[in-house]
Structure 1
Amino acid sequence: MKIAVSGKGGVGKTTFVATLARVFAENGKKVIAIDADPVANLAVTLGVKNVSQIVPISQMKDLIKERTGATSEEYGKFFQLNPTVSDLPDKLSLEQEGIKLMVLGAVKRGGGGCACPESAFLRTLLSHLIVQRDEVVIVDMEAGVEHLGRATVKAVNALIVIVEPGSKSIQTAFQVKKLADDIGLRAIYAVGNKVASDEHRALIEKGLSGIPVLGFISYNEKVLESDIVGKAVFSENSQLLDEVRLIKKNLEDCTK
């Protein structure tokens, strides 16, 4: 299962990615969670300590130069468009709660993005993870729709858009769907988050007409509490885990 998660900034993408990764891991699956959002919060959401010491792969200049033959500072120099990356998921991942975590850092837009060694390196690594690895791969994408230019997104089993009650979030979901349709990605689903009432559920379901809704995550003050104390978002949060377990089941049913 290869899953990309998108949505408007602040809707709870990272909370969902971390909890979904945990749910897959508790069933004995090998899981790689990838933080591809320039605002990298997946590590702390998984409960990783000393997150300030994590160096995003995009900032590993020596490694990028070793694999591509150049860095972006070397203007005009030829570099490898398809560098060797197959050994890196095991070398550069952290393990937390039975989940391997990779922090990519800023990934430039595929297709129309910058033609630089760092961009080529990260695109190749992301493609390897999605296409060639046999683990469950869950990618926390940058907020919005910019990532949909990347050819690697075509390989995912599902693109899940996280939506909170509100017109802006719903509008973003349709922007994601349109661009996904443009590149031939049909397996698009939504998850409602921060839902506090039946009215919220109805608003999301009605607003997302044409996008299947896999389920809902309730407004949950323990999510905020986990951030304050620096523990995993799903720690001692049975409601969140149960709701994401149901979403996982519905996802598996839809992608059989």
Structure 2
Amino acid sequence: MRVAFVGKGGSGKTTLSALFARQLARSGAPVLAVDGDINQHLAEALDPAADTAPFEAPPLAAHLSDLKDLLRGTNARIASREAMVKTTPPGRGSRLLRLLGDDELHTRHVQRVGGVPLMVTGEFDESDLGVACYHSKLGAVELYLSHLVDGPGEYLVMDMTAGADAFASGLFTRFDMTFLVAEPTRKGVSVYRQYRDNAREFGIPLAVVGNKVTGEDDLLFLKEEVGDDLLTHLVVSPWVRSAERGRPQGELEEPNRHALRLLRETVDAREKNWPAMHRHAVEFHLRNARAWADAATGQDLAAQVDPEFVPGPASLH
């Protein structure tokens, strides 16, 4: 199952992404954490006691051309890497990936941090200023997710870009469950309203996780603002504070561990819907083709859609 953590900057989505991924890894479940935020801090959150930057594997976006060559495989509908855009869906002949499979992509780009396999999209740095947008980097992970066939009991946990930036592409449709992290403030729930409306339009499951809750007043505010979408909440955590200082002490508090267990139960209760996920991928590909990609490539990219293909476990054989 694929899980996205979203929310405004500073809401704690990176922290919750790390806590959730670590919980899954410690249970023995196959899990891959993906840092898709413009500010790459997930590695630090996964291993807060590390004295130095622990992540050395290259970002996915740094090898986009190689990624395209790998994923298009022998798909006759994709003429070249230049004709493959971030929304190009898989078809017959495409190279499909297993989560943490024994392939060149995972070997190159995945590194264990704090006991959790981690892959990063890449930071937005000075060389990108004025010539690129961060969504071009997210295009690499969008292609990765489109060609990933995750199996039962497997988890991908992604720390998404802050705010509503994910709606600049079809990336938000690539997940089985989206958790929106919201502080008990007006700003904290503002992103929720944007996500709620877009999620409902496409049938994307969304649940709100309150964070940094100090008491009943905070909880009541969240319930009034988000209603039944409020799944659970985490209280202000001394453990998180000590971890953010690089000196985690003791264990995460039981109310917060209970909240993480509830998140997993919610994810596990979902049923994988490969046809719907692929349908969304095709819809956003056709939108992008009409809006810019046909003109950019000089091709009719609608022809890349394979009407006889739906990804899923059966497509691996």
Q: Aligned with 1:236: secondary structure?
A: coil
Kept in 2, the 8 Å contact 1:32–1:136? The answer is: yes
Unaligned runs of 5+ in 2: 70-80, 89-93, 98-102, 125-131, 272-317
Q: Alpha carbons of 1:242 and 1:97: their partners in 2 closer, same or farther (altered >3 Å)?
A: farther
Bigger shift: residues 41-50 or 165-174: 41-50
Quick check: 1:177 aligned with 2:180?
Answer: no
Quick check: 1:217 aligned with 2:226?
Answer: no
Quick check: 1:197 aligned with 2:215?
Answer: yes
Quick check: 1:206 aligned with 2:206?
Answer: no
Kept in 2, the 8 Å contact 1:3–1:137? The answer is: yes
Q: Aligned with 2:119: secondary structure?
A: strand
Q: What letter corresponds to residue 10 of structure 2 in structure 1?
A: G
Kept in 2, the 8 Å contact 1:67–1:80? The answer is: no
Distance 2:43 2:267 in 1: 24
Q: Alpha carbons of 1:167 and 1:246: their partners in 2 closer, same or farther (altered >3 Å)?
A: same
Q: What letter corresponds to residue 232 of structure 2 in structure 1?
A: G
Q: Alpha carbons of 1:186 and 1:14: their partners in 2 closer, same or farther (altered >3 Å)?
A: same
Kept in 1, the 8 Å contact 2:37–2:162? The answer is: yes
Deviation at 1:51, TM superposition (A): 2.0
Q: Aligned with 2:245: secondary structure?
A: helix
1:237 corresponding residue in structure 2 = 252
C-alpha RMSD of matched pairs (Å):
3.1
TM-score scaled by structure 2?
0.65
1:4 corresponding residue in structure 2 = 4
Deviation at 1:152, TM superposition (A): 4.2
Q: Any idea what the Cα deviations from partners look like across 1:116-140, whole Å, max 9, x if unmatched?
A: 9755434212433xx4233301110
Q: Any idea what the Cα deviations from partners look like across 1:70-105, whole Å, max 9, x if unmatched?
A: xxxxxxx94543596843134311113442111112
Deviation at 1:55, TM superposition (A): 5.7
- Residues 59-74 of structure 1 correspond to what in structure 2 (within 5 A)? 60=62, 63-68=63-68
Q: Any idea what the Cα deviations from partners look like across 1:23-47, whole Å, max 9, x if unmatched?
A: 2222221000110001111100000
2:45 corresponding residue in structure 1 = 45
Q: Alpha carbons of 1:235 and 1:150: their partners in 2 closer, same or farther (altered >3 Å)?
A: farther
TM-score scaled by structure 1?
0.78
Q: Aligned with 1:3: secondary structure?
A: strand
Quick check: 1:226 aligned with 2:243?
Answer: yes
Deviation at 1:53, TM superposition (A): 5.4
Distance 1:195 1:52 in 2: 31
Deviation at 1:52, TM superposition (A): 6.7
Kept in 1, the 8 Å contact 2:61–2:140? The answer is: no
Q: Aligned with 1:38: secondary structure?
A: coil
Distance 2:139 2:266 in 1: 35
Deviation at 1:164, TM superposition (A): 0.6
Distance 2:233 2:84 in 1: 43
Q: Aligned with 1:20: secondary structure?
A: helix
Q: Alpha carbons of 1:230 and 1:37: their partners in 2 closer, same or farther (altered >3 Å)?
A: farther
Q: What letter corresponds to residue 205 of structure 1 in structure 2?
A: K
Deviation at 1:181, TM superposition (A): 2.7
Percent identity for Structure 1 against Structure 2: 23
Distance 2:54 2:184 in 1: 33
Deviation at 1:250, TM superposition (A): 4.1
- Residues 76-87 of structure 1 correspond to what in structure 2 (within 5 A)? 78=82, 80-81=84-85, 86=97, 87=103
Q: Aligned with 1:186: secondary structure?
A: coil
Q: What letter corresponds to residue 54 of structure 1 in structure 2?
A: E
Q: Alpha carbons of 1:119 and 1:216: their partners in 2 closer, same or farther (altered >3 Å)?
A: closer
Kept in 2, the 8 Å contact 1:33–1:100? The answer is: yes
Q: Alpha carbons of 1:174 and 1:125: their partners in 2 closer, same or farther (altered >3 Å)?
A: same
Q: Alpha carbons of 1:238 and 1:148: their partners in 2 closer, same or farther (altered >3 Å)?
A: same
Kept in 2, the 8 Å contact 1:68–1:117? The answer is: no
Unaligned runs of 5+ in 1: 70-76, 108-112
Q: Alpha carbons of 1:153 and 1:168: their partners in 2 closer, same or farther (altered >3 Å)?
A: same
